[in-house]
Amino acid sequence: MSINNTELSTTSFFQSDVWLFTIYIVGTFEFIFWLCNGFLIIIELYDFPSIDKYRIQKHKKKLRFQPDVTQLMIKQTIRHQISTVFLAPLLYYLLNYFGHLDMQGPRPAWSTIVYQLVLFILSEDAIFFWTHYLFHIPWLYKTIHKKHHIFKQPTGVVSVLSDPIEGLQNQLAVWFMPVLLKEKHIFTVCIWIVIRVYQTVNAHSGYNLPYVSTQYWVPWIMSGTLAHDFHHQHGKWNYGSFFNIWDRIMDTHRLSIATTTEKEVD
């Protein structure tokens, strides 16, 4: 009887919404994460003059010539990949704790999807800015945030490499609004993952590629690769996520003098 109960419980799990949620969330994350980073790895391993001209830190060697840094990236990336699988089910229960996550119902109206995504972006941007700003208080920076700033020449995978406490801060910013919303759909959540992962991988890419960066289209309001790469180089300024509005309010918006005349940097 115990064997049958075990088999029944195993079968029930693999037919459950939490298992389906884990597949959707991890699958969506991994697809967009490695699609973007696969491209960045290729242009890191091989030289393409038409692309290399967009490298921001041209004065430094490519990462393939920095084995200590790349080995650290590989080690921490593997650790992050494993943790993603185990944390996904917890996210399912959090999303259902304050409301309801629709897993199998019809897709919401596009107006609802867009409205919720705007809420997600605005919430994430505000929370990320202020928590990130706090992490640059000297003792928090030294204890926690410096582990992310080891990578002064970032590339896409660096977007997920940090101290576990900072990892929680990032997840708080990403999931605060989705958790609080009473009704949400897995389709909307997956789109949100695509947007957020693309945005943060692009911000850490190390390449100011045309057309693919939000900063290319609306530089007066959107943060982008230039802003965040400058943040990694100097360990300060440009604390925002999607937008640079909070940075402008707090007078922490800076860009390299090699690429802008907006503000000179000492």
pLDDT in tens, 145-159: 999 999 999 999 999
Burial readout 11-37 (b: 16 or more C-beta within 10 A, e: otherwise): eeeeeeebeebbebbbebbeebbbebb
Q: Where are the domains of the chain?
A: 17-250
Task: Judge whether residue 62 has pLDDT over 90.
Answer: yes
Q: Which amino acid is at 113?
A: I
Determine how many CB atoms are found less than 10 A away from the CB of residue 135: 21
- Compute CA 64 distance to the chain's CA centroid, rounded to the nearest angstrom: 23
9 pLDDT band, cuts 50/70/90, is: low
pLDDT in tens, 131-143: 999 999 999 999 9
pLDDT in tens, 170-194: 999 999 999 999 999 999 999 999 9
Of 219, 249, 214, 228, give the one whose Cα is nearest residue 126. Answer: 249
Among the ranges given (8-17, 116-125, 209-218), the one the predictor scored with the smallest mean pLDDT: 8-17
Tell me, what DSSP letter sits at residue 16? S
Q: What is the model's pLDDT at position 32?
A: 98
